[in-house]
Protein backbone atom coordinates (compact mmCIF):
# COMPACT_ATOMS: atom_id res chain seq x y z
CA UNK A 1 0.00 0.00 0.00
CA UNK A 2 1.41 3.41 -0.92
CA UNK A 3 1.51 6.34 1.48
CA UNK A 4 -1.53 8.09 -0.07
CA UNK A 5 -3.64 4.97 0.54
CA UNK A 6 -2.32 4.62 4.07
CA UNK A 7 -3.32 8.23 4.74
CA UNK A 8 -6.81 7.70 3.31
CA UNK A 9 -7.18 4.68 5.61
CA UNK A 10 -5.93 6.72 8.55
CA UNK A 11 -8.56 9.39 7.88
CA UNK A 12 -11.36 6.79 7.67
CA UNK A 13 -10.25 5.04 10.85
CA UNK A 14 -9.66 8.25 12.79
CA UNK A 15 -13.11 9.58 11.87
CA UNK A 16 -14.65 6.46 13.38
CA UNK A 17 -12.73 6.61 16.63
CA UNK A 18 -12.11 10.35 17.18
CA UNK A 19 -15.15 12.56 17.52
CA UNK A 20 -13.27 15.87 17.21
CA UNK A 21 -11.97 14.89 13.77
CA UNK A 22 -15.31 13.44 12.66
CA UNK A 23 -17.08 16.71 13.53
CA UNK A 24 -14.36 18.81 11.88
CA UNK A 25 -14.44 16.84 8.63
CA UNK A 26 -18.25 16.92 8.48
CA UNK A 27 -18.19 20.70 9.07
CA UNK A 28 -15.75 21.19 6.22
CA UNK A 29 -18.52 20.73 3.69
CA UNK A 30 -20.27 23.75 5.27
CA UNK A 31 -17.18 25.98 5.05
CA UNK A 32 -17.97 29.10 3.01
CA UNK A 33 -15.59 30.48 0.40
CA UNK A 34 -15.53 33.41 -1.99
CA UNK A 35 -13.07 34.25 -4.74
CA UNK A 36 -11.30 37.46 -5.76
CA UNK A 37 -9.43 37.79 -9.06
CA UNK A 38 -6.70 40.07 -10.34
CA UNK A 39 -6.83 39.69 -14.09
CA UNK A 40 -6.53 36.15 -15.38
CA UNK A 41 -3.38 35.31 -13.53
CA UNK A 42 -4.03 35.60 -9.79
CA UNK A 43 -6.86 34.41 -7.60
CA UNK A 44 -7.47 34.52 -3.90
CA UNK A 45 -10.06 32.41 -2.15
CA UNK A 46 -11.28 33.64 1.21
CA UNK A 47 -12.53 30.89 3.51
CA UNK A 48 -14.75 31.31 6.57
CA UNK A 49 -13.54 28.67 9.01
CA UNK A 50 -14.41 29.48 12.65
CA UNK A 51 -12.64 26.39 14.07
CA UNK A 52 -9.30 27.89 13.03
CA UNK A 53 -9.53 30.47 15.82
CA UNK A 54 -7.25 28.10 17.71
CA UNK A 55 -4.44 28.91 15.26
CA UNK A 56 -5.34 32.42 14.11
CA UNK A 57 -5.77 33.62 17.68
CA UNK A 58 -2.72 31.72 19.00
CA UNK A 59 -0.33 33.56 21.28
CA UNK A 60 3.17 32.56 20.24
CA UNK A 61 5.28 34.73 22.53
CA UNK A 62 7.99 32.74 24.31
CA UNK A 63 6.35 33.06 27.77
CA UNK A 64 3.02 31.60 26.59
CA UNK A 65 4.80 28.88 24.63
CA UNK A 66 6.97 27.87 27.61
CA UNK A 67 3.95 27.55 29.90
CA UNK A 68 1.66 25.46 27.73
CA UNK A 69 2.02 21.70 27.21
CA UNK A 70 3.24 21.26 23.61
CA UNK A 71 0.36 19.79 21.60
CA UNK A 72 2.76 18.21 19.08
CA UNK A 73 4.73 16.18 21.66
CA UNK A 74 3.55 12.55 21.64
CA UNK A 75 2.78 12.55 25.39
CA UNK A 76 0.37 15.49 25.12
CA UNK A 77 -1.60 14.47 22.04
CA UNK A 78 -5.23 13.36 22.37
CA UNK A 79 -5.31 9.62 23.19
CA UNK A 80 -7.45 8.94 20.08
CA UNK A 81 -4.93 10.53 17.70
CA UNK A 82 -2.96 7.93 15.74
CA UNK A 83 -0.33 8.48 13.11
CA UNK A 84 1.79 6.97 10.37
CA UNK A 85 5.56 6.89 10.69
CA UNK A 86 7.54 8.84 8.07
CA UNK A 87 11.35 8.59 7.68
CA UNK A 88 11.38 7.00 11.18
CA UNK A 89 11.47 10.44 12.77
CA UNK A 90 8.10 12.00 11.94
CA UNK A 91 4.48 11.09 12.58
CA UNK A 92 1.85 11.89 9.95
CA UNK A 93 -1.30 12.99 11.82
CA UNK A 94 -4.79 14.09 10.80
CA UNK A 95 -5.22 17.78 11.60
CA UNK A 96 -8.43 18.14 13.66
CA UNK A 97 -8.87 21.77 12.46
CA UNK A 98 -8.67 21.29 8.68
CA UNK A 99 -8.35 24.13 6.18
CA UNK A 100 -7.84 21.92 3.13
CA UNK A 101 -8.96 18.42 2.26
CA UNK A 102 -6.93 15.69 3.99
CA UNK A 103 -5.15 18.29 6.11
CA UNK A 104 -2.15 16.67 7.80
CA UNK A 105 0.22 17.80 10.52
CA UNK A 106 3.62 16.10 10.45
CA UNK A 107 5.61 16.70 13.66
CA UNK A 108 9.15 15.49 14.19
CA UNK A 109 9.44 13.06 17.13
CA UNK A 110 11.70 15.38 19.07
CA UNK A 111 10.71 18.74 20.55
CA UNK A 112 13.08 21.01 18.62
CA UNK A 113 12.39 24.53 17.31
CA UNK A 114 10.73 25.23 13.98
CA UNK A 115 13.69 25.61 11.57
CA UNK A 116 13.51 24.50 7.95
CA UNK A 117 17.11 24.84 6.77
CA UNK A 118 18.30 21.24 7.32
CA UNK A 119 14.89 19.69 6.76
CA UNK A 120 14.05 20.87 3.28
CA UNK A 121 15.11 17.45 1.99
CA UNK A 122 12.49 15.74 4.21
CA UNK A 123 9.87 18.11 2.88
CA UNK A 124 10.74 17.27 -0.73
CA UNK A 125 10.73 13.53 0.06
CA UNK A 126 7.21 13.81 1.43
CA UNK A 127 6.04 15.83 -1.59
CA UNK A 128 7.49 13.11 -3.83
CA UNK A 129 5.59 10.36 -1.99
CA UNK A 130 2.33 12.34 -2.11
CA UNK A 131 1.82 13.59 -5.70
CA UNK A 132 -1.75 14.80 -4.98
CA UNK A 133 -0.65 16.94 -2.04
CA UNK A 134 1.12 20.19 -1.29
CA UNK A 135 3.51 20.00 1.67
CA UNK A 136 3.88 23.29 3.49
CA UNK A 137 5.93 24.98 6.17
CA UNK A 138 5.27 28.01 8.33
CA UNK A 139 8.30 29.70 9.87
CA UNK A 140 8.37 30.41 13.63
CA UNK A 141 7.24 34.03 13.06
CA UNK A 142 5.33 33.40 9.85
CA UNK A 143 2.22 31.50 10.87
CA UNK A 144 3.40 28.50 12.94
CA UNK A 145 1.28 28.11 16.06
CA UNK A 146 3.86 25.71 17.56
CA UNK A 147 7.17 27.52 16.86
CA UNK A 148 8.91 25.36 19.47
CA UNK A 149 8.26 21.95 17.86
CA UNK A 150 9.33 21.27 14.28
CA UNK A 151 6.44 20.28 12.02
CA UNK A 152 5.36 20.29 8.42
CA UNK A 153 1.80 20.26 7.12
CA UNK A 154 0.21 18.86 3.98
CA UNK A 155 -3.14 18.73 2.23
CA UNK A 156 -4.72 18.03 -1.13
CA UNK A 157 -3.59 20.26 -4.00
CA UNK A 158 -5.90 23.01 -5.24
CA UNK A 159 -5.19 25.58 -7.98
CA UNK A 160 -4.92 28.63 -5.67
CA UNK A 161 -2.20 26.90 -3.65
CA UNK A 162 0.02 26.30 -6.67
CA UNK A 163 0.21 29.97 -7.73
CA UNK A 164 3.67 31.43 -8.17
CA UNK A 165 4.95 34.98 -8.14
CA UNK A 166 2.52 37.86 -8.48
CA UNK A 167 2.56 41.65 -8.12
CA UNK A 168 0.58 41.34 -4.86
CA UNK A 169 3.21 39.31 -3.01
CA UNK A 170 6.62 37.74 -3.57
CA UNK A 171 7.12 34.09 -4.43
CA UNK A 172 10.58 32.71 -5.26
CA UNK A 173 10.22 29.59 -7.35
CA UNK A 174 12.67 26.70 -7.57
CA UNK A 175 11.99 23.84 -9.92
CA UNK A 176 13.98 20.81 -11.06
CA UNK A 177 13.79 17.07 -11.68
CA UNK A 178 16.85 16.78 -9.45
CA UNK A 179 16.09 16.89 -5.73
CA UNK A 180 19.64 17.82 -4.75
CA UNK A 181 19.57 20.76 -7.10
CA UNK A 182 16.41 22.06 -5.42
CA UNK A 183 18.13 21.69 -2.03
CA UNK A 184 21.21 23.57 -3.21
CA UNK A 185 19.18 26.40 -4.72
CA UNK A 186 17.09 26.59 -1.55
CA UNK A 187 20.29 26.95 0.48
CA UNK A 188 21.44 29.82 -1.77
CA UNK A 189 18.12 31.62 -1.34
CA UNK A 190 18.17 30.91 2.40
CA UNK A 191 21.62 32.50 2.74
CA UNK A 192 20.52 35.54 0.76
CA UNK A 193 17.40 36.01 2.91
CA UNK A 194 19.42 35.45 6.09
CA UNK A 195 21.65 38.31 5.00
CA UNK A 196 18.54 40.53 4.66
CA UNK A 197 17.21 39.58 8.13
CA UNK A 198 20.30 38.77 10.24
CA UNK A 199 18.37 39.42 13.48
CA UNK A 200 15.89 36.59 12.85
CA UNK A 201 16.60 33.01 14.05
CA UNK A 202 15.76 32.05 10.52
CA UNK A 203 14.67 34.35 7.69
CA UNK A 204 10.91 34.80 7.87
CA UNK A 205 9.25 32.57 5.30
CA UNK A 206 6.55 30.18 4.21
CA UNK A 207 7.35 27.31 1.89
CA UNK A 208 5.10 25.15 -0.27
CA UNK A 209 6.48 22.13 -2.11
CA UNK A 210 4.82 19.74 -4.49
CA UNK A 211 5.61 17.59 -7.49
CA UNK A 212 4.19 17.84 -10.98
CA UNK A 213 5.11 15.45 -13.78
CA UNK A 214 8.10 14.20 -11.78
CA UNK A 215 9.43 17.70 -11.23
CA UNK A 216 10.00 19.05 -7.74
CA UNK A 217 8.54 22.51 -7.25
CA UNK A 218 9.35 24.71 -4.29
CA UNK A 219 7.62 28.04 -3.70
CA UNK A 220 9.27 30.22 -1.08
CA UNK A 221 7.35 33.23 0.20
CA UNK A 222 9.71 35.63 2.02
CA UNK A 223 8.01 37.53 4.85
CA UNK A 224 8.61 40.78 6.67
CA UNK A 225 5.76 40.62 9.21
CA UNK A 226 3.85 37.90 11.05
CA UNK A 227 0.47 39.63 11.26
CA UNK A 228 -0.90 42.71 9.47
CA UNK A 229 -1.83 45.94 11.28
CA UNK A 230 -5.55 45.13 10.97
CA UNK A 231 -5.11 42.06 13.18
CA UNK A 232 -4.46 44.32 16.18
CA UNK A 233 -7.11 46.96 15.43
CA UNK A 234 -10.37 47.12 17.34
CA UNK A 235 -14.03 47.28 16.37
CA UNK A 236 -14.93 47.60 12.73
CA UNK A 237 -11.32 48.22 11.68
CA UNK A 238 -10.18 44.81 12.91
CA UNK A 239 -9.56 42.07 10.40
CA UNK A 240 -8.45 38.91 12.16
CA UNK A 241 -6.15 37.38 9.59
CA UNK A 242 -2.91 35.68 10.60
CA UNK A 243 -1.25 34.62 7.36
CA UNK A 244 0.59 31.34 6.98
CA UNK A 245 1.68 29.44 3.87
CA UNK A 246 -1.84 28.80 2.57
CA UNK A 247 -2.99 32.40 3.04
CA UNK A 248 0.06 33.82 1.34
CA UNK A 249 -0.29 31.41 -1.60
CA UNK A 250 -3.93 32.41 -2.14
CA UNK A 251 -6.27 30.77 0.41
CA UNK A 252 -7.01 33.33 3.12
CA UNK A 253 -8.63 32.01 6.30
CA UNK A 254 -11.07 34.17 8.24
CA UNK A 255 -12.30 32.92 11.59
CA UNK A 256 -14.99 35.55 12.23
CA UNK A 257 -18.02 35.82 9.99
CA UNK A 258 -17.85 39.63 10.04
CA UNK A 259 -14.34 39.50 8.56
CA UNK A 260 -15.44 37.07 5.86
CA UNK A 261 -18.36 39.35 4.96
CA UNK A 262 -16.51 42.64 4.90
CA UNK A 263 -13.14 41.73 3.35
CA UNK A 264 -12.56 43.41 -0.03
CA UNK A 265 -9.87 43.12 -2.65
CA UNK A 266 -8.09 46.25 -1.39
CA UNK A 267 -7.84 44.67 2.11
CA UNK A 268 -6.21 41.61 0.56
CA UNK A 269 -3.74 43.80 -1.36
CA UNK A 270 -2.95 45.70 1.84
CA UNK A 271 -2.44 42.56 3.95
CA UNK A 272 -0.08 41.04 1.37
CA UNK A 273 1.86 44.31 1.07
CA UNK A 274 2.39 44.34 4.84
CA UNK A 275 3.52 40.75 5.36
CA UNK A 276 5.31 39.84 2.10
CA UNK A 277 8.97 40.84 1.72
CA UNK A 278 9.79 42.33 -1.69
CA UNK A 279 12.95 40.72 -3.09
CA UNK A 280 14.70 42.08 -6.15
Residue 111 in contact with Zn ion, rule: CB under 5 A:
yes
Per-residue x/- track, 42-81, Zn ion (CB under 5 A): ----------------------------x-xx--------
Between 22 and 82, CB nearer to Zn ion: 82
Give the N- to C-terminal CA distance of the chain in Å, as an integer: 45
Per the rule left: phi > 0, alpha: psi between -120 and 50, beta: everything else, 214 is left
Distance of alpha carbon 266 from the chain centroid? 23
Task: With CA atoms as reference, report the closest residue to 244 among 204, 186, 280, 201.
Answer: 204
Residue 151 in contact with Zn ion, rule: CB under 5 A:
no
Shortest CB 110 distance to Zn ion, Å:
8
Residue 22 in contact with Zn ion, rule: CB under 5 A:
no
β pairing state of 251-254 and 42-48: parallel
Between 109 and 179, CB nearer to Zn ion: 109
Task: With CA atoms as reference, report the closest residue to 169 among 252, 251, 248.
Answer: 248
Per-residue x/- track, 120-149, Zn ion (CB under 5 A): -----------------------------x
Distance CA 77, CA 15 (A): 16
Between 82 and 111, CB nearer to Zn ion: 111
Between 73 and 160, CB nearer to Zn ion: 73
Question: Which parts of this chain interact with Zn ion (CB under 5 A)?
Answer: 70, 72-73, 111, 149
Amino acid sequence: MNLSDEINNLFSRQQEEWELLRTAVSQRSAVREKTFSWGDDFRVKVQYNPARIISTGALIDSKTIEKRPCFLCAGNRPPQQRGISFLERYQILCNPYPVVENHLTIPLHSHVPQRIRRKISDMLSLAELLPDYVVFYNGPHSGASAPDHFHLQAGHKSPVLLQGDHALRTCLMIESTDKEEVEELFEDVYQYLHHLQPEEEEPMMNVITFTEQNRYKLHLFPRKAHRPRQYFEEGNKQLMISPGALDIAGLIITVREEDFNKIESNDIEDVYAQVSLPVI
